[in-house]
Structure 1
Amino acid sequence: MLYLSLLAVSCSVSAAKYPVLTESSPEKAGFNVERLNQMDRWISQQVDAGYPGVNLLIIKDNQIVYRKAWGAAKKYDGSVLMEQPVKATTGTLYDLASNTKMYATNFALQKLMSEGKLHPDDRIAKYIPGFADSPNDTIKGKNTLRISDLLHHSGGFPADPQYPNKAVA
């Protein structure tokens, strides 16, 4: 019984800490409906011109004020164009592949920088000790790399010649 009480308290604290999104309308949120219609037409043109699919969700003040899907969630089965593509819906989940790393890293860095916990000019070795040079390293200088060097893809890392080799990649 104590467990259930703690669970109930935990749930109520979480609910207060993380607001739930509610439905609203563009008009109530102060959006210009004609501008949204223009955007809708433009996205439709992009899909008609060959862009596979688009999902758009607009949230303002914890209220969902606009959501729509255009085009297809899936147009190809392997390398074959499907006769009946799977339509995109507002619930479609897209495979973002390697983009996930970029988004997650970007949001995490923005949060840490806004909290003053790191700076783009900080050296990587300050946070990851393995970035300090060691006597046995064949490539020296990684101890000089800054966060901004990695963000700008200017760390100077050599290309991995084994990348296309599936046996070791």
Structure 2
Amino acid sequence: MNKICISLICFVHLIACTGQNSNNKKEISSFKSESKIDDLVKQYLDLDIFSGTVLVAQDGKIIYNKAFGLANRKENIPNTLQTKFDIGSINKAFTKVIILQLIQEGKIKPDDKLGKYLEGFPKEASEKITIEQLIGHRSGYGDYMEDPGFFDRPKSQQTMEAITEIIKKMPLMFEPGSDWNYSNAGYILLGDIIEKVTGKSYYDNVKERIIKPLNMSGAVVDSAKEMATNRAVGYMKTMRGELEDNEGILLIPTPAGGFIMNGEDLLKFME
């Protein structure tokens, strides 16, 4: 079934430009840019394949920030600038940042093997896979979501701990370091390593090392996601043109994906 996600954040962070333009020219340029973005968004709205917020920042300043469409079609709730959207795999970048911080702090090394921190893995994984390979999707592990019936599991079996047990039984797709394959599994294991090294939960690490310092007050990075206010419902359009919400596959946030936040909070992290 061909599905198109139509509830999302469209986030654009423009690279800073230098120049000696006058304020008037900047205002005219800004107006033209806003008009162009409006026109572009309208095309997707007319096709009914977009609903969300669009944020554009330049030179550290937000120059465009608007909400479009409905956050919840059943309840007819519109999107606002405070609406929280599932950022999907973008939060792998949060996991990577914490790993890099731990490397800078001298608590782990890029070439450390998986088995140094985590137990219960086959020898070929524990003795060969490195932290660097996990970061770069070169560990040999694939996607645990391909495990039969994964999305039918209760939420209690979609936690980091439960997923790690699934990964332990997964065969490697190739010799670690010899190839590349996008790996959700690798980032779950990085989250496990973060917990092992720091003695704190992955979620507490995200809050203490990223969310609080950046004052990302609207971000939800743990199981409170399902109870969060101002949360957009994701929808998919089938090949028959029918809309389906994705509440049935709403995943618990993990190091591999699933945080929710608004556009301004995401901008704080991206900057």
TM-score when scaled to structure 2?
0.36
The question of 1:47 aligning with 2:53 is answered no
Q: Sort the Cα spacing of 1:107 and 1:33 in 2 relative to 1 into closer, same or farther, 3 A.
A: farther
Q: Distance in 1 between matches of 2:153 and 2:31?
A: 53
Q: Distance in 2 between matches of 1:50 and 1:44?
A: 10
Q: Give how far 1:28 is off.
A: 5.2
Tell me if the contact between 2:96 and 2:135 (Cα under 8 Å) persists in the aligned partners. Answer: no
Q: Distance in 1 between matches of 2:131 and 2:122?
A: 22
Alignment of 1:56-135 (within 5 A): 56-75=54-73, 82=74, 85-96=76-87, 98-99=88-89, 101-108=91-98, 112=101, 122-125=110-113, 129-131=116-118
Q: Distance in 2 between matches of 1:162 and 1:70?
A: 35
Provide the residue aligned with 1:141 in structure 2: 125
Provide the residue aligned with 1:157 in structure 2: 141
Larger radius of gyration: 1
Structure 1, unmatched stretches of 5+, are 1-24, 76-81
Q: Greater relative contact order: 1 or 2 (C-alpha under 8 angstroms, separation 6 or more)?
A: 2
Q: Give how far 1:59 is off.
A: 3.2
Identity %: 18
- Calculate the aligned-residue CA RMSD, in Å: 4.2
**Structure showing the higher helix proportion among its residues:** 2
Q: Distance in 1 between matches of 2:104 and 2:31?
A: 39
Q: Distance in 2 between matches of 1:103 and 1:141?
A: 23
